[in-house]
């Protein structure tokens, strides 16, 4: 690279383009030829990258920026002319007949799916110093988010193979979008753990690049304050995932391999895969081109709302409206009170959890037209009401859930609402901010994220016939939570409700103070009465029965203050640690039939 001469045709072409686009200020301070040539070459290398990484190149970026900045200055509302209404979609009730049917269809379709995790965000709101996917989703098994996601995908794949026995069996591909902030650490996490059991060839890392910053309403590019030969850059948002899948050719590769569904998800939702089989089933049954997974949402809760928008000119779309825009839009149109709860106690607009299932065929067709460009927005912070000077440089941003905005009205855009206890428990807020969340609204913290796993597993077991004690009330990091028995299991033990039911026999009981961690496939609860801690690790060929009365001092939750720096960060942010006093543990490394009893 070093050898590319400064006056190469490629660089001259870029310089000409920048001048034509009103960017002469970038060169004003350049000394005469021969001085700082390496730095100047570095500048062109960066411009080459910025140009290549945006659909339509920098020319498009600057044109879009000028338009969006002008709209922002004029105070134009992107939803002007649109009236919101409550859209129709599928509402799931956990464990009813329809849910079970959808799960079965979903498992069948699982081997025709690909999964895409967007994990380029640093999670500034959480304030955690590591990458979020390395955080444990609960402390009893200690499994981190990335391991859990991979194990879920592998379990889905295997369950799908079992259902379609004899038919073609396809490996489920997994793509992870990273960024400069997360790439190296994500790769290291995978490599140091042998990809958590997935074949490395099954995993693709796509690194998103940052985009150029803008210093004024004329979209003049901002120079890095510490390096005048470098353009300042900032993240472009999770919407980049679409252009990356397109520009790398990955989507075409998947199409050629027979993939039908592309499932997108975010970095820290430990419950998500409990709703994936049913949601996939809904997509396949209803032939949705776009299916957004949603949860009931409290009015003004800080997640986007899914709404049907109808324009005065007849256009309609079903789309996520971010929470800060939904309230003003409602006030300006159909509801003077804004975003308020209806008789169900929730906003009538379901909450977007940014879990999308796209049908690959129509998706690829659309990306071939758009190059993966997603409708962007700009959010400059102005110095004063004249809106002429920015407090700091800004940039264009885009969100993955805005993909349907460019679709024709004929596109089948739907959504699937699942109970929040089953499908959504993200870890986004730091302890201080979580403690300030209005009463009744979810904390979305490491504390609530972990407690949500135990609650969901307890409730699922209850539905499957286990008598699980009521939760106790607990306060950690000033957040009030329900503390259910600490129950965790590996995805290969059970993915669907039918799987869980098949693993429970006779009459079983689990007390509130109990902990149960199942790391094995063929493990059955049979007339088990648990009051303490019970752990089982077994190879697939071992069949293990957990039965009888198990009683011991168990594992106890010990409070930790989030300011106590003697504890590791991942412990502090949840506000408790597990004191492992006594447990019954069974390890089965050989094939055979076993019974773990006290
Ligand atoms: N992410 C990237 O991969 N790259 C980026 O440049 C930025 C983020 P946040 P956000 O579920 O409650 C979304 O920051 O964007 C990844 C929806 O827009 O956690 O504020 C990042 O790693 C909103 O409608 O969330 O809000 C993470 O995995 C609502 O659904 C993901 O993108 C909200 O999530 C989301 O990033 C929610």
Query: In this structure, which residue's CA is closest to atom 18 in ligand 1?
Result: 399
| Ligand 1 pocket, mutate which of 116, 119, 121, 244 (most atoms under 8 A from CB) | 121
CA of 204 to the centre of ligand 1 (A): 20
Please tell me the predicted confidence (pLDDT) of residue 569.
95
| pLDDT average, residue stretch 73-78 | 89
| Ligand 1 pocket, mutate which of 119, 179, 293, 354 (most atoms under 8 A from CB) | 354
Question: Measured between alpha carbons, how far is 465 from 565 in angstroms, rounded to an integer?
Answer: 43
- To the nearest 10 degrees (0 to 180), the angle between helices 240-247 and 360-370 is 90
- Residue with the bigger pLDDT between 441 and 494: it is 494
Q: Could you give phi then psi for residue 352, rounded to 5 degrees? A: -75, 125
Name the average pLDDT for the chain.
95
Q: Which of 2-11, 100-109, 469-478, 539-548 has the lowest mean pLDDT?
A: 2-11
Helix, strand, coil in percent for the chain, rounding step 5: 30, 25, 40
Confidence grade of residue 175 (pLDDT, cut at 50, 70, 90) = very high
Please tell me the predicted confidence (pLDDT) of residue 2.
55
Number of C-beta neighbours around residue 253 at 10 A = 14
Contact 449 CB / ligand 1 (< 6 Å): no
Q: What is the pLDDT of residues 339-380, one digit of tens each?
A: 999 999 999 999 999 999 999 999 999 999 999 999 999 999
Please tell me the predicted confidence (pLDDT) of residue 378.
95
What pTM did the predictor assign? 0.95
Please tell me the predicted confidence (pLDDT) of residue 1.
47
| pLDDT average, residue stretch 460-478 | 98
Residue with tokens 């904390």: 443
452 token code pair: 């949500």
Number of C-beta neighbours around residue 285 at 10 A = 15
303 token code pair: 């997640």
- 426-430's contacts with Cβ under 8 Å and 24+ in sequence apart are 426/266, 426/268, 426/269, 426/353, 427/126, 427/132, 427/135, 427/268, 427/270, 428/123, 428/125, 428/126, 428/268, 429/125, 429/126, 430/125, 430/126, 430/127, 430/128, 430/573
Question: Measured between alpha carbons, how far is 482 from 447 in angstroms, rounded to an integer?
Answer: 11
So what's the ipTM on this one? 0.98
Contact 262 CB / ligand 1 (< 6 Å): no
Confidence grade of residue 300 (pLDDT, cut at 50, 70, 90) = confident
Please tell me the predicted confidence (pLDDT) of residue 302.
83
Please tell me the predicted confidence (pLDDT) of residue 169.
80
Residue with tokens 């390395």: 134
CA of 426 to the centre of ligand 1 (A): 10
CA of 43 to the centre of ligand 1 (A): 31
Share of the chain above pLDDT 70, in %: 99
Please tell me the predicted confidence (pLDDT) of residue 306.
95
Distances (CA, A) of 174 to 90, 123, 201, 232: 26, 22, 9, 32
Please tell me the predicted confidence (pLDDT) of residue 3.
63
Index of the ligand 1 atom closest to the CA of residue 266: 28
Which helix (H) or strand (E) segment holds residue 538: the answer is: strand 533-538
Residue with tokens 């609650």: 455
CA of 532 to the centre of ligand 1 (A): 38
Q: Flag whether pLDDT at 102 surpasses 80.
A: yes
Contact 239 CB / ligand 1 (< 6 Å): no
CA of 265 to the centre of ligand 1 (A): 9
Please tell me the predicted confidence (pLDDT) of residue 77.
84
| pLDDT average, residue stretch 217-230 | 96
């Amino acid at each position: 690279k070093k050898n590319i001469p400064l006056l190469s045709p490629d660089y001259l072409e870029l310089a000409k383009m920048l001048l034509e686009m009103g960017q002469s200020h970038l060169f004003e301070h350049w000394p005469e030829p021969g001085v700082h040539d390496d730095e100047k070459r570095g500048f062109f290398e960066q411009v080459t990258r910025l140009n290549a990484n945006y659909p339509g190149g920098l020319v498009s970026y600057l044109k879009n920026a000028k338009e969006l900045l002008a709209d922002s200055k004029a105070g134009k509302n992107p939803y002007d002319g649109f009236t919101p209404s409550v859209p129709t979609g599928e509402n799931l009730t956990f464990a009813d007949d329809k849910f079970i049917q959808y799960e079965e269809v979903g498992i069948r379709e699982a081997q025709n799916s690909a999964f895409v995790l967007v994990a380029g965000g640093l999670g500034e709101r959480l304030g955690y110093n590591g990458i979020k996917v390395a955080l444990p989703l609960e402390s009893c098994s200690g499994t981190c988010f990335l391991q859990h996601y991979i194990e879920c995908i592998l379990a889905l794949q295997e369950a799908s193979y079992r259902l379609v026995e004899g038919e073609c069996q396809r490996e489920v591909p997994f793509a992870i979008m990273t960024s400069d902030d997360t790439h190296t650490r994500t790769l290291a996490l995978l490599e140091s753990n042998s990809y958590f059991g997935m074949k490395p060839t099954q995993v693709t890392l796509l690194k998103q690049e940052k985009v150029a910053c803008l210093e004024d309403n004329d979209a003049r590019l901002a120079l890095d304050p510490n390096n005048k030969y470098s353009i300042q850059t900032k993240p472009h948002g999770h919407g980049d995932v679409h252009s990356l899948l397109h520009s790398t050719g990955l989507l075409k590769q998947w199409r050629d391999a027979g993939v039908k569904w592309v499932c997108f998800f975010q970095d820290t939702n430990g419950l998500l895969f409990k709703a994936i089989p049913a949601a996939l089933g809904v997509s396949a049954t209803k032939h949705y081109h776009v299916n957004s997974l949603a949860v009931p949402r409290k009015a003004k809760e800080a997640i986007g709302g899914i709404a049907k928008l109808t324009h005065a000119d007849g256009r309609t779309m079903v789309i996520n409206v971010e929470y800060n825009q939904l309230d003003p839009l409602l006030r300006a149109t159909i509801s003077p009170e804004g975003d308020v709860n209806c008789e169900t106690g929730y906003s009538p607009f379901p909450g977007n959890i940014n879990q999308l299932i796209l049908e690959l065929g129509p998706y690829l067709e659309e990306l071939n037209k758009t190059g993966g460009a997603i409708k962007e927005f700009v959010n400059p912070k102005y110095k004063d009401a004249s809106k002429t000077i920015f407090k700091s440089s800004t940039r264009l941003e885009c969100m993955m859930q805005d993909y349907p905005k460019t679709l024709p009205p004929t596109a089948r855009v739907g959504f699937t609402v699942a109970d929040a206890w089953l499908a959504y428990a993200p870890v986004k807020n730091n302890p201080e901010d979580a403690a300030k969340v209005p009463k009744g609204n979810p904390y979305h913290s490491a504390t609530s994220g972990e407690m949500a796993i135990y609650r969901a597993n307890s409730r699922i077991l209850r539905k499957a016939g286990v008598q699980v004690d009521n939760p106790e009330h607990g306060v950690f990091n000033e957040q009030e939570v329900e503390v259910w028995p600490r129950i965790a299991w590996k995805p290969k033990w059970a993915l669907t409700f039918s799987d869980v039911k098949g693993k429970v026999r006779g009459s079983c009981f689990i007390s509130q103070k109990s902990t149960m961690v199942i790391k094995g496939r063929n493990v059955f609860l049979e007339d088990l009465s648990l009051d303490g801690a019970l752990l089982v690790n077994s190879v697939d060929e071992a069949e293990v029965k957990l039965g009888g009365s198990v009683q011991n001092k168990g594992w106890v939750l010990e409070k930790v203050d989030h300011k106590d720096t003697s504890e590791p960060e991942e412990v502090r942010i949840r506000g408790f640690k597990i004191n492992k006093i006594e447990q019954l543990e069974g390890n089965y490394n050989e094939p055979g039939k076993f019974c773990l009893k006290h």
